[in-house]
Amino acid sequence: MAKVHVFNAGPCLLPQPVIDASIEALKDFKGTGVSVLSISHRTKEWEATMNECRSLWKELLNIPDTHEVVFLGGGASLEFLYVAMNFLEKKAAYLDTGVWAHKALKEAQGIGEAYALACSKDKNYSYIPKGYEIPTDIDYFHITTNNTIYGTEIKEDIDCPVPLIADMSSDILSRPVDVSKYALIYGGAQKNAGPAGVIFAIIRKDALGKVSRYLPTMLDYRTHIEKESMFNTPPVFSIFVMNETLKWLKGIGGVEEMNRINNRKAATLYAEIDRNSLFTGTAAVEDRSIMNVCFVMAPGHEDLQDEFMAFSKERGMVGIKGHRSVGGFRASLYNACSQEDVEALVACMQDFEKLHK
């Protein structure tokens, strides 16, 4: 089979060593003679894996002792509800930078008073709002750091006078983060941290217990901190693969080295988009995501979109079709995507340009 280059927006491309380790664990988990799919989450072998996974998160992101890491099911979409249930007492503000940010806001509005402090919908979410002032009379300020559909990203940890909460589903572990600035960081694992089926939540412990409402046991973060993410049966296989992914990341040099690699990949692709006469980027240059590179056919060449899609597929490009709500193309450069993959896409774009000159 010819080599393929995977740019799917999610689930992510996983490193080959992680896939290989997962295959072996499917056969025999840590010499127990039992598949990881069948292992009891109460065995000492599994508890060791959970502890290792938690420790790797703390090590890779320099998570302070003020915070704890939990693993849950339900995806980041369920976390939208978790956030409001655990933190919204009177009023909350959200930065509306795309579909997922807007969905998070909508979920909070079902619980209490929540509003968009700033919004970039006026230009189809092609930029990150700036110049807003964060009020001090809110319970928390919520941001979505990377917007997979529109290709914009908040690349720096903002200073916030109130508890700061961030959905980092699609850029976690791609760059260093000052965790101490956040009351909560959460996200689905299926971009950079593992397969679909598990979410991570990095919680400042003293930020909890501030709401007066009844919290259902399963929706109370304190439940999962106290029970070390095993109040109920955890998504064992997804956490196993996450742990292997974190081990791989540590092995290549950690988050700092990954950030260097990711910036190089993104710079390579953006340079070609800016150079190539047939393509143009869609996100404001200063807000371009290093994870999700979005682009379209340049004005006057819109009729070539389907042709390029077929052309790129023939050359092994997988997953570059843009989200159905915006069209065009999107190359997701998550951690396991290599420089070689990016250069193959660039060569494909160059060859297509030559055909139409």
Q: pLDDT tens, 33-70?
A: 999 999 999 999 999 999 999 999 999 999 999 999 99
pLDDT at 357: 83
- Residues 292, 222, single domain; the answer is no
- Residues 48, 112, single domain; the answer is yes
Domain boundary, last residue among 199, 218, 251 = 251
- Residues 210, 277, single domain; the answer is no
Q: Which of 46, 57, 96, 100 is catalytic?
A: 100
pLDDT at 324: 83
Please give the share of the chain, as a percent, with pLDDT higher than 70. Answer: 100
Note whether residue 1 is domain-resident: no
Q: Which of 191, 265, 287, 341 is catalytic?
A: 191
Q: pLDDT tens, 127-152?
A: 999 999 999 999 999 999 999 999 99
- For residue 6, give the H/E element and its range: strand 5-6
Q: Confirm whether 287 is a catalytic residue.
A: no
CATH number at residue 278: 3.90.1150.10
Q: pLDDT tens, 264-310?
A: 999 999 999 999 999 999 999 999 999 999 999 999 999 999 999 99
Q: Confirm whether 100 is a catalytic residue.
A: yes
- Residues 235, 280, single domain; the answer is no
Q: Residues with Cβ < 8 Å from 200, sequence gap 6 or more? A: 57, 69, 70, 71, 172, 185, 186, 187, 189, 193, 242
Q: pLDDT tens, 211-225?
A: 999 999 999 999 999
Q: Confirm whether 306 is a catalytic residue.
A: no
Instruction: Please list the residues that pair with 5 across neighbouring strands.
Output: 317
SS3 98: coil
Note whether residue 2 is domain-resident: no
- Residues 299, 164, single domain; the answer is no
In terms of residue numbers, what domain contains 140? 16-251
Q: Which of 96, 139, 167, 341 is catalytic?
A: 167
- Residues 185, 124, single domain; the answer is yes
Domain boundary, last residue among 230, 251, 272 = 251
Note whether residue 9 is domain-resident: no
What's the distance, CA 264 to chain centroid? 19
Domain boundary, last residue among 200, 224, 251 = 251
Q: pLDDT tens, 146-169?
A: 999 999 999 999 999 999 999 999
Average pLDDT over residues 117-125: 97
pLDDT at 1: 57
